[in-house]
Structure 1
């Protein structure tokens, strides 16, 4: 009897301790006050809880689709395409199926990839498996602004893998400050274990904040632990923003960077523990400096033997005023106003235009040319835009435009809970026992582009300037092994009054192409669809979905539907309808049709959870500077910024404590009755 009483007391104390362990800091940064709020699909009830919807990753902003263009583009047009690449002008260099990858901020690795080498986030593995099944592998960069202040340490309290030291910070108070980020070798073993399960390849970041005391350990150990799974080492992140972020003097310029990069290169080559000293990624300019101004210093002549990837980082817009009202970014932008800017072919064309010359230089030097970090808008994106189906169509068009323009890859940035553009977001730690991940619409774009380019590494892309070059109905042809294999069709319009969809009549060979007719007896089509461009949750690829908010485990669910369209070979035509909005991937060649469905994807499951019910920790400190994210993730936020106050959710936590205390009491009475 005495022992039962002791156990009962222990359970009650444990219940009280668990409930008391709830910690919620201030609600994350403000959303755009001019945006319109509304319900958000199947998880609207949860999303309407104040502290959840205050996180931009789960915002309830639902925009109005733009009106149909005036004048309307033709809703019926023809594409006459040669069957052989030799008769098609303007084709890109051969592209790989892993064209789209991910850029993951170093500070949020624990939440996105895994807590340690033994605890890997299963939804993350499943998402990667979906891509590697379609593109052979997936390229991932771990770094960003937080790599610049990262230091390897032997160990951290509580066996942590990553921790921040807020006693040492850099950056501007108005635009966020970055503390030192400490990490252990466990991080690299985690990445190695991911690569052992799915074919993931990594880019790692070497800090460049202090060129008098080089910290090269991540490259030394990266080579030793990850081996060939390391694709390269990014040396410095956005050096053209060092001055504005108060990491260098205001006078810092391209020549200063040229000199400092030389110090880094020499140090890396002198370090005998680094086996891949010629696999550097640079210069990773954000756009404040023109690339041509840096090339004019002789940068490429001096360092091209050490650089394997010429990299740039660019976003089409920024939402910094909403996150940093006192940061000098002007007026807050209205998402409804900027939304149409993403629903046009012109956006992708304008994005690549400044880099066409540099892409050509990269080809001459035999280098890869990558958009190393990108997404819809810096400073976290626009709620209602960055997490809408419109962003998926934008990313499909943008990705294929980059491929056509001879980029060799692009990495979509992944931030924390307070960004709206994430391809995927794990639930806040306090919900991780009973909620799943949230997969953003742009994740579907990576699947589309991977299937469009295939696994042969021979795909060459051409912008067809379709429908008289109309900006709402772009189309691309993909030639594989020098034969027409696939056609990608995009429709940026949303149907209104039964108007918006369009029909494309495709003819292969014959006519003006100088070839015999080669239209197949039938084509297969996969559709990327949603009810409107403003939709957030009901997105499907070939009728399959990752699920809505807090509903994804990283696997596509539902019955796959591949449309078969019979062609008129006597007329040499096939007619394909593209819904409004939507994108269609048309499989033309026999080889493409035979391989249009990936093999059964290896998926993963687990019963493990990230924490006990009551370790509810949300620390929404500002983690953004320029391009990256305004990303706040629990456990490992890395930038000094917002006030950490629990007052706004004090009442909610009081109820939580009472709930867990009562739960413990009922549980104890049940055990010891």
Structure 2
């Protein structure tokens, strides 16, 4: 790991020294008025888990939660001010049964089930494990699924809703009624199922919950749906009757392609994921319904997304997906989404964010980190605790140009009132850097930036964010690398390696600007070395949110980049 990190840093420095003519782009002082309608919070990107494999990742008991999982969650939670979004559901939950008397957490009930829809029985320990993780990591907001597959006999749905509200209390953010009901007909769950049928079923289940003798689990607004993926339009569902019910969220889930019938030229095509032009198209799916929801003040969540549905393909664990998933998340924020969740499933699914050593040994070290996990870290440091408005800057006409290998976003903090950051992408797989000229502005006097990099878009393990990689216990290894520049009259320039991404903070030393998260966010295993003092600055201190002084950090000042690895200190003067 240490050798790989050194080689990666060397490659980054080589590309910095060989960058071509700077790319110019425009960064307006204020975002467009229409963009101000969607202010997103720093917990925008959460994680979605499939119920059937939940215990293989989370362990079997509250005291048996793997330290690795807690580290993975803590690394994200430490970087945000709002509760971490976690969803448990999927096709598995839509066909599963809550058993209050069950002593173990999860029991598989059909060993011959389709791998993409494995039903289980699950007991109250499920909620105990969620609560224990909350207590250990910090505040989270939980979303669970409720089945709609048998509305005529919905007593177990009501029972689960009551248990969830009682056991989780205010930690329960939402309950999603149904999962992909637009596929009920095609999958044979309910032949000929239509939107009017769905609305009728919603009415029955909601009525049964509200009138239950055991208590109404909907005494506060908790329902979400329809959680469609493929065949129905959100606007038709809303106008077809869903608007008559007090839904907290309207929910969608979406993948650009699938591997349900096996590999093919589409689901193994990495070039699709490296073209920014495809990203607005993805985010615009169901845009009419999303806009309807915005007018009705109902937030829209993408409760599940990833690269290739039905388990991922041979490209789903590559660095290309780290970049793509960041691009998608930021683009969703420009399309009126209020949040999104990256999905992870059972052991060895290639798009997973992380995997235990085996399905039966989650408490052992030796976890592997999937490339999409790094997306979570980047997003957590991108969006402000003051709320941000995201704008696609259309760098090099990347929205419409199939040949564009770069892209960029403006991030306006303080609910859109302040130029806060830019995010710059270089999708090229040529090992060369692209230099971006930060627009000259009287208000931008300095910058600081961090890089998400790997040697190749095909890389699976040698990936780093701000100089750190994720270790076998979910801990961040290495010391954070941040580069600061004073812009002066000539402005500032940032070179992004190919492939790579730069998160650039504007005026990071200003008192009213966001500060980078600095410190050790892992709870177990790794203890970072003390950072040596450079020009009177030191990396020692206590951890904090987006800029408080932190432990084991690498600080950079005076136009220099200081890379403090596990075994050496490398100082490079920028020219």
Decide: shared fold, TM above 0.5.
Answer: yes
Q: Would you say 1:583 and 2:528 are equivalent positions?
A: no
**Alignment partner, residue 195 of structure 2:** 254
**Alignment partner, residue 318 of structure 1:** 258
Higher mean Cα deviation, 342-351 or 356-365? 356-365
**Alignment partner, residue 538 of structure 1:** 462
**Alignment partner, residue 109 of structure 2:** 165
1:261-308 Cα shifts (integer Å, max 9, x gaps): 1111111222324154521010001121222332342332x22x2x10
**Alignment partner, residue 224 of structure 2:** 281
Q: Would you say 1:506 and 2:430 are equivalent positions?
A: no
Name the CA shift for 1:264/1:466 in 2 (closer, same or farther; >3 Å): same
1:116-158 Cα shifts (integer Å, max 9, x gaps): 12211211111111111112221111111111222222444xx
Q: 2:55 aligns with which of 100, 106, 110?
A: 110
**Alignment partner, residue 603 of structure 1:** 523
TM-score (norm 1): 0.70
1:496-536 Cα shifts (integer Å, max 9, x gaps): 5xxx4211111253xxxxxxx2221x211100000000000
Deviation at residue 420 of structure 1 after TM alignment: 0.3
Q: For residues 273 and 312 of structure 1, what CA distance do their matches in structure 2 show?
A: 26
> What is the root-mean-square deviation in Å for CA atoms of aligned residues?
2.5
Q: For residues 232 and 370 of structure 2, what CA distance do their matches in structure 1 show?
A: 31
Q: For residues 462 and 334 of structure 2, what CA distance do their matches in structure 1 show?
A: 30
Verify the 8 A CA contact 2:68 2:365 in the aligned structure 1. no
Verify the 8 A CA contact 2:67 2:363 in the aligned structure 1. no
Q: For residues 506 and 339 of structure 2, what CA distance do their matches in structure 1 show?
A: 24
Name the CA shift for 1:433/1:402 in 2 (closer, same or farther; >3 Å): closer
Verify the 8 A CA contact 2:52 2:119 in the aligned structure 1. no
**Alignment partner, residue 152 of structure 2:** 212
Higher mean Cα deviation, 578-587 or 129-138? 129-138
Q: For residues 380 and 147 of structure 2, what CA distance do their matches in structure 1 show?
A: 31
Deviation at residue 180 of structure 1 after TM alignment: 4.2
Secondary structure of the 2:60 match is strand
Unpaired segments ≥5 residues, structure 1: 1-40, 43-72, 323-331, 510-516, 607-673
Q: How does 1:80-95 map to 2 (within 5 A)?
A: 80-83=26-29, 85=30, 90-91=35-36, 93-95=38-40
Verify the 8 A CA contact 1:75 1:501 in the aligned structure 2. no
1:192-236 Cα shifts (integer Å, max 9, x gaps): 111112222100111211111112222111111111110000100
Q: How does 1:194-593 map to 2 (within 5 A)?
A: 194-198=133-137, 199-214=139-154, 215=156, 216-249=158-191, 251-271=192-212, 272-276=215-219, 278-300=221-243, 302-303=244-245, 305=246, 307-322=247-262, 332-334=263-265, 338-383=269-314, 385-429=315-359, 435-456=365-386, 458-469=387-398, 470=401, 471-481=404-414, 482-495=417-430, 500-509=432-441, 517-520=442-445, 522-547=446-471, 552-568=472-488, 570-571=489-490, 573-589=491-507, 590-591=510-511
Verify the 8 A CA contact 1:477 1:486 in the aligned structure 2. yes
Name the CA shift for 1:433/1:222 in 2 (closer, same or farther; >3 Å): closer
TM-score (norm 2): 0.81
**Alignment partner, residue 75 of structure 2:** 130
Verify the 8 A CA contact 2:50 2:88 in the aligned structure 1. yes
Verify the 8 A CA contact 1:335 1:382 in the aligned structure 2. no
Secondary structure of the 1:441 match is coil
**Alignment partner, residue 142 of structure 1:** 88
**Alignment partner, residue 152 of structure 1:** 98
Deviation at residue 81 of structure 1 after TM alignment: 2.4
Deviation at residue 244 of structure 1 after TM alignment: 1.6
Q: For residues 99 and 88 of structure 1, what CA distance do their matches in structure 2 show?
A: 21
> Which structure's residues are more often helix, by fraction?
1
Verify the 8 A CA contact 1:281 1:308 in the aligned structure 2. yes
Name the CA shift for 1:148/1:336 in 2 (closer, same or farther; >3 Å): closer
Name the CA shift for 1:359/1:206 in 2 (closer, same or farther; >3 Å): same
**Count of aligned positions:** 496
Deviation at residue 426 of structure 1 after TM alignment: 1.3
Name the CA shift for 1:355/1:432 in 2 (closer, same or farther; >3 Å): closer
Q: For residues 402 and 74 of structure 1, what CA distance do their matches in structure 2 show?
A: 31
Deviation at residue 316 of structure 1 after TM alignment: 0.3
Secondary structure of the 1:141 match is strand
Deviation at residue 186 of structure 1 after TM alignment: 1.0
Deviation at residue 602 of structure 1 after TM alignment: 5.6
Deviation at residue 431 of structure 1 after TM alignment: 5.8
Verify the 8 A CA contact 1:529 1:581 in the aligned structure 2. yes
Verify the 8 A CA contact 1:134 1:455 in the aligned structure 2. no
1:578-614 Cα shifts (integer Å, max 9, x gaps): 11000000010325766112454261359xxxxxxxx
1:469-512 Cα shifts (integer Å, max 9, x gaps): 3542110011111110110001111115xxx4211111253xxx
Deviation at residue 542 of structure 1 after TM alignment: 0.6
| Structure showing greater relative contact order (alpha-carbon pairs closer than 8 Å, 6 or more residues apart) | 1
Q: 1:79 aligns with which of 25, 32, 41?
A: 25
Unpaired segments ≥5 residues, structure 2: 5-18, 527-575
Secondary structure of the 2:481 match is coil
